[in-house]
Amino acid sequence: MTDVLLIERARKVYRGMGTVREAVRDVTLTVGEGEVHGLLGPNGAGKTTTLKMLLGLVLPTEGRFEILGQPATPAARAHLGFLPEQPYFPPQLTAGEVLDLYARLSGMDAAGLRARIADVLERVGLQGRESSLLSTFSRGMLQRLGVAQAVLHEPKIVVLDEPASGLDPVGQRDVRNMILDLKEHGVTVLLSSHQLSEIEAVCDQVTILNRGVVAAKGRIDELLNVRGQTSVRARGPEGELPAAIRSIVADVAFSGGEWMFSVPEDRARDTVDALDDAGWDLVSLGPKRESLEDYFASLLADTAEEMAS
C-alpha cells in the first residue's frame, strides 16, 4: 500500500514570554492509500498540533511532512480536504456562498459548481439551504456544512478532526456512514477523535499519541486482541458451566440467556467439545478482544508510569 500521508519526527515547541512548552515531542506517522487511520489520544496529547503542522496552520519546529509524496506545501493540499473541530464560517455569508468560495480556493471550475454544491449539501442533509445565512444555522448544521466543504472538491485525502463533535446520534451515524462511504470510494481518511466507538467502527489502523509521542500504533485487531485467549459465547442453562471447562474459563458473564467467557487458545477445541457434549449451543468463538476503552486506559497508565520512573 502506497503511503499518501507522511509525518516524520514531527516536533513543535511553543516559546512564550519566558515559557517553553513542547506540544509535540516526536511523532512519526504514515497513512496508506485508501486507509481509514485513527489518531487517538487524551487532551493535550498533541493530536491537533500534529494535524495543524501537516496542514500548514502551525509552523513545525522540526519534522518532515508529505502529502501524496510531495512536501506539504499549499500546492500539495489540492487533493486534501479538512474538517476542523467545531468548524465556524463567516456568519454573514450563505451556505452557497461559503461553498462557492471554498470551491474556487480549491481550484474548481465555475462550470457545474452550482450543481456540485447542491449535490454535496444534499449529501450532508442540508438540501435547499444554499441561500440560508450561516448566522441562522445550528451547531449541528455548521458541522454538517463543515463536512460538506471538506469533501466538496472530491479530495483523495480527507483529514477529520473530531467530525462527530456537536452532532446528535443521527448526525454521528451519518458521519460514520460518510467515512465508510469515502473509504468505499478509495478516499484516504485521517480521523482524529475522542470517540473510541467511532474509531473502532471505521478505522483500519490507529496511532495513539500521549504527551507528544506515539504511544502505540497498528491495526486495531492487533492492538486489541488478547494474545493466547479465545472468547466464547454459548447458550445454555443458567447456573453452572459444564464441569469439563470450569477450571479453564475466565472473565465469565451471563446475560440474556447467553454465557460469555474466555479460555486459553490451545483449549478452544476441548471447550467446543465440552459444550457440545453438554447439549449447549455455541453462538460465537473468536480471538478475545479488549475494548478500545480498556486498552486506551491501560496504555495511558503504562505511559504515565514510565514517565514517572
Query: Which residues are at the interface with another protein (CB under 8 A)?
Result: 14, 52, 55-59, 74-75, 77-78, 80, 82, 84, 86-90, 92-93, 97-98, 101-102, 104-107, 133, 146, 149, 159
| Cβ-based nearer residue to another protein, 67 or 234 | 67
> Helix or strand or coil: residue 57?
coil
Q: How far apart are the C-alpha atoms of 30 and 8, rounded to whole Å?
A: 8
CB of 233 to another protein, least distance (A): 45
Beta-carbon contacts of residue 88 (< 8 Å; ≥ 6 apart): 142
CB of 97 to another protein, least distance (A): 6
| Cβ-based nearer residue to another protein, 48 or 262 | 48
> Grid coordinates standing for 56?
500548514
Q: How far apart are the C-alpha atoms of 229 and 201, rounded to whole Å?
A: 22
CB of 133 to another protein, least distance (A): 8
> Helix or strand or coil: residue 275?
helix
Q: Are 148 and 126 spatial neighbours (Cβ–Cβ below 8 Å)?
A: yes
| Cβ-based nearer residue to another protein, 109 or 238 | 109
CB of 122 to another protein, least distance (A): 20
CB of 72 to another protein, least distance (A): 10
Q: How far apart are the C-alpha atoms of 262 and 281, rounded to whole Å?
A: 16
Q: Are 209 and 216 spatial neighbours (Cβ–Cβ below 8 Å)?
A: no
| Cβ-based nearer residue to another protein, 18 or 74 | 74
| Cβ-based nearer residue to another protein, 130 or 258 | 130
